[in-house]
Amino acid sequence: MSVPVIAFFNNKGGVGKTSLVYHLAWMYADQGKRVLAADLDPQANLSSAFLDEDRLTTLLWTEGTAHEFTLYGAINPLLAGEGDITTPHVEAVDEKIGLLVGDLNLSDFEDELADSWLNTLSANKPRAFRVMSAFWRVMQKGAEDFEAAFILVDLGPNLGSINRAALIASDYVVVPLAPDLFSLQGLRNLGPRLRSWRAEWAQRTVRNPDPAILLPAGKIEPLGYVVMQPVMRLDRPIRAYEYWINRIPQDYAHYVLGQVEAIAPVREDNHQLGIIKHYQSLVPMAQEARKPMFKLKPGDGALGSHMHAVQSAYRDFKTLADQIYARLQLSPEVST
């Protein structure tokens, strides 16, 4: 039985994917759930959020490590033609949070994944299936070793080969959105691509020449969207914000779900998982304290109105975590 994989993705940067994965991992840990976070963005921002510079230097820069402590290290033997994946290192960020550490060298996998995607349509190409399933198999092995209930995946904002492989390794997709033109443009690009990748992977899995190669199901089921509210600026009219946020339910239903349905307002839309305010004053404080915003204390500088913002952040992320978990419970795979 596989561990459910939840990817956080939009074809638009700056919509809070990394922050969502980071804060949700901590919220689930607070709730007693064991979680594996996988950093599949070659920029490795999630790893930088979880780990301080000294630890990152030890894992990534120490002479002789050869990426052995990163996710890239687990797939490198396959990439180098020296065998298959190896058991990944799971960095214990917390008793209940494990991390598959990101690596800029992950971008080296891009061309290999592009070639393997084509080769999975050819006869008797078992290596292509090993390559295409590498992310999923590494994540599953990491989750098994860490005894995680589910896997949260952070991805970069593009529709390249790395993200295609990561998404076919995902059971569910959560789409972070900002109420602006470019975020919704990303949504329009994302939805049709998810549907085509799901269908194309289903065509490929039946061609697997080696039953011993375990493959992801490639469900890529949209779980819902999260609205990340921007900082309101004096040069940004309220009516512009209202226009874009009111378009989200319609565009999500049409482009991601392929549906034409009666559209409720965003706060009443069943596909909306949560609305997260921009806690502008808490961000630098949390980064300095190296903890999620909702864990800030007076000793970290969260005094007066800041403490009210901390409590509000806790409510926002708890609501979001509960919504996602409740929808996961529709699947019999999930346990804690």
Please report the pLDDT score of residue 332 as a whole number. 47
Please report the pLDDT score of residue 181 as a whole number. 87
Strand spans (E) along the chain: 5-8, 35-39, 91-94, 97-100, 150-154, 172-177, 221-228, 272-276
**How would CATH label the architecture of 5-276?**
3-Layer(aba) Sandwich (3.40)
Residue 278 to residues 159, 236, 285, 312, 316, Cα–Cα distance (Å): 27, 15, 14, 11, 11
The whole-model pTM stands at 0.93
Q: Domain ranges for the chain, please list them.
A: 5-276
Q: Tell me the per-residue pLDDT of 176-215, one tens digit each, with 9 for 90 and over.
A: 998 888 888 888 889 999 999 999 999 999 999 999 999 9
Mean pLDDT score of the chain:
91
What average pLDDT score do residues 155-164 get?
94
- pLDDT above 70: residue 253: yes
Please report the pLDDT score of residue 19 as a whole number. 94
- pLDDT above 90: residue 278: no
Q: Among 90-94, 118-122, 128-132, 278-282, where is mean pLDDT lowest?
A: 278-282
- pLDDT above 70: residue 76: yes
Please report the pLDDT score of residue 336 as a whole number. 43
Three-state SS sequence of 139-155: HHHHHHHHCCCEEEEEC
Query: If you search the block for the tokens 């500088």, which residue do you land on?
Result: 301
Helix (H, G, I), strand (E, B) or coil at 225: strand
Q: Which residue has the higher pLDDT, 9 or 15?
A: 9
Please report the pLDDT score of residue 66 as a whole number. 66
Please report the pLDDT score of residue 335 as a whole number. 45
